[in-house]
Amino acid sequence: MKNILIASTSTIHGSGYLEYMLPELTIFFKNANNILFIPYARPSGISYDEYTKKATEAFSKINKTTKGIHEFENPIEAIKNAEAIFVGGGNTFVLTYQLYKNNLVETLQTTIKNGTPYLGTSAGSNICGLTIKTTNDMPIVYPPSFNALAFVPFNINPHYLDPDTNSTHMGETRETRIKEFHNFNTPPVVGLREGSWLQVHDNSIVLKGTLTARVFEYNKVPYEIKTGTELNHLK
């Protein structure tokens, strides 16, 4: 039975790391004292130790301990034995590359589908979809595959931004990029705005937070969904 939170971001404007989610995480991780942190995405290129320290400080506020997967001699066994797992944001290509390099993809899929609580933010949310093809990140490394963990039957676009009509920026919008994706791919894409997350419990997928999300389906006009909406119909 899957028990997953797929968050657009770890940090919203004016808030500390994971701070806006701590009330939700207190409930979500109520049966876990120790959280296995996977720091592979390395935002801004920080080290695994630096990133783990950041996560540890955040979770200490809800009386949870944290240990980085890089601190274990056997990362596969670390995942299998974890009480709960958190995969942080950063670069999705770097994250995916490292998961494949360490042969962790199948172990993560099995462990999470068997009920171990999983929290993903940003890149850690991207890998919950079918593929990582709708990430906003630069492909600075080349993973063996773009296929992701497929915890939900669609792709995710964290940090989704609406077009700014007052901006002088003439580049592509997120919506334009997702339309380009659908020229070559058919899976739906859910654009998660900052401060929103998906709550996955078994076969139920529900939008949470205070904002709407934007849904892109192949050969359909994009549309908005309200918080509390079930998304398990998307395929």
Catalytic residue among 8, 70, 159, 196: 159
Active site residue 159: yes
Q: pLDDT tens digit string along 106-154?
A: 999 999 999 999 999 999 999 999 999 999 999 999 999 999 999 999 9
| Sign of the C-alpha dihedral computed for residues 90, 39, 130 and 101 taken in this order | positive
The pLDDT value recorded for residue 220 is: 97
Q: Sorting pLDDT into bands at 50, 70 and 90, what band is 171?
A: low
31 CB neighbour count, 10 Å cutoff:
9
Active site residue 122: yes
Active site residue 164: no
CATH number at residue 203: 3.40.50.880
Residue 212 lies in a domain: yes
Residue 61 lies in a domain: yes
Residue 203 lies in a domain: yes
Total number of domains in the chain: 1
Residue 167 lies in a domain: yes
> Which one-letter amino acid corresponds to residue 44?
S
What is the domain range of residue 131?
A: 3-225
Q: Sorting pLDDT into bands at 50, 70 and 90, what band is 162?
A: confident
Residue 235 lies in a domain: no
Residue 230 lies in a domain: no
Catalytic residue among 8, 10, 70, 122: 122
Question: Burial level of 73, CB count in 10 A (0-12/13-18/19+)?
Answer: exposed
Residue 69 lies in a domain: yes
Write out the DSSP string of 131-143: BSTT--S---S--
Does the predicted model carry a pTM greater than 0.75? yes
